[in-house]
Amino acid sequence: MPDFTLRLDEDDATVTAAGIDIARYAFAPEGAASEGPKPYLHPLRALDGAPLTAFRPWDHRWHKGLQMTWTHVSGQNFWGGPTYRRDIGYTPLDNVGRMRHNRFTRVTEAGAEVSLIEDLTWITRAGDEWLAERRAHRFHSLDLVRGVWALDFSTTLRNTSDHDLELGSPTTQGRPNAGYTGFVIRMPRAWTGGRVQSATGHGVESLMGAESAWVAFSGEHDEFDGGGTVLVFAGTVRVSRGTATQDRPIKWFVRSEPFPILAPSPSFDEPIVLAPGDEVSLSHRHVFGDRIWSPDETRAIAADLAL
């Protein structure tokens, strides 16, 4: 019996491990244009079946599990909801783009790991194709004793427009501590006020906009007994301009109040500018646990599963 199996359907893919559907990847979702239709992972589940993600919460309907986003792309919003402008704050604009799944180029359906590699296109509200994306999800490191499994996410975005693209966040537009963008996970509302640990030893209050090799978020479940943990490694952000490459620092966007959300932000407070043909690549790892880990256990798992 393989550790993981993957079932590919018309609009989504489901990953199963230890008899639990641990992940659903909706790669061709529909929805309101204002929510920025794009692929997302939801539900994500621990090995005990408990949910680890939230979907369309009342406070932000465009928050959908774990998904790749970018809040500011040269005036376009690929995250969803209102857009932050320095002069007027948050306001609904006719600028919310979408991401189109084009094709899977490679699928591994069963084994010690399963994976999906796909091509996508980022399309503005006006219908212009600005970014070509090659995205990969790899599910691996199933450990029934520790109660964990892991997801590696990597992506490369290439500017296919005929002009420079500035990739930023609300913070690059003037709002402090709002650098959310990139691979963002919205966790269950029951985890509000949950415990945050980090490689630096800093808690949630001092992690916003800071650098750390990893951040772990733990919370108690509703319905299911006990709790769970999501461990996220910062990974890498690399910008390629012709034959030259540059690694950029990753800063964390993390909140436990008023809702639980976590992202290693590639452009927290400094935008990335891509000329036509330039690329930016992200690589991150998420580890999902079926209980609340002690500080020592968190550090041990982070050391064992580090990128």
pLDDT tens profile 16-49: 999 999 999 999 998 999 999 999 999 999 999 9
SS3 content of the chain, % helix, strand, coil (to 5): 5, 50, 45
Q: Which domain holds residue 13?
A: 4-304
Pick from 189, 177, 231, 217: nearest CA to 56? 189
Cβ proximity of 78 and 69 under 8 Å: yes
pLDDT tens profile 160-214: 999 999 999 999 999 999 999 999 999 999 999 999 999 999 889 899 999 999 9
How many other CB atoms are there within 10 angstroms of residue 180's CB atom? 21
Cβ proximity of 164 and 278 under 8 Å: no
Q: What is the pTM of this model?
A: 0.97
How many structural domains is the chain composed of? 1
Pick from 171, 40, 154, 152: nearest CA to 98? 40
> Can you tell me the distance from the alpha carbon of 78 to that of 34, in angstroms, rounded to the nearest whole number?
10
What residues does 64 pair with on adjacent strands? 55
Mean pLDDT for the chain overall: 97
Tell me, what CATH number does 18's domain have?
A: 2.70.98
3-state secondary structure 59-83: CCCCCECEEEECCEECCEECCCCCE
pLDDT tens profile 142-159: 999 999 999 999 999 999
What residues does 243 pair with on adjacent strands? none
Pick from 143, 144, 149, 172: nearest CA to 83? 172
At residue 72 the predicted structure's pLDDT band, cuts being 50, 70 and 90, is very high
Q: Which two tokens stand for residue 155?
A: 């992506």
* Residues ≥6 apart with Cβ < 8 Å to 117: 104, 105, 106, 107, 134, 135, 136
Amino acid letter for position 303: A
> Can you tell me the distance from the alpha carbon of 79 to that of 288, in angstroms, rounded to the nearest whole number?
24
Rounded mean pLDDT, 107-126: 97
pLDDT tens profile 249-296: 999 999 999 999 999 999 999 999 999 999 999 999 999 999 999 999
Per-residue pLDDT, 2: 78
pLDDT > 70? residue 1: no
Rounded mean pLDDT, 84-95: 95
Q: What's the burial of 20, exposed, middle or buried (CB within 10 Å: 0-12/13-18/19+)?
A: middle
Position of tokens 């976590």?
A: 262
In angstroms, the first-to-last Cα distance of the chain is 27
Helix and strand counts by DSSP (H, E) for the chain: 2, 23
> Can you tell me the distance from the alpha carbon of 238 to that of 99, in angstroms, rounded to the nearest whole number?
21
Phi-psi region of 125 (alpha: psi -120 to 50; beta: other; left: phi over 0): alpha
Q: Which two tokens stand for residue 240?
A: 């390629």
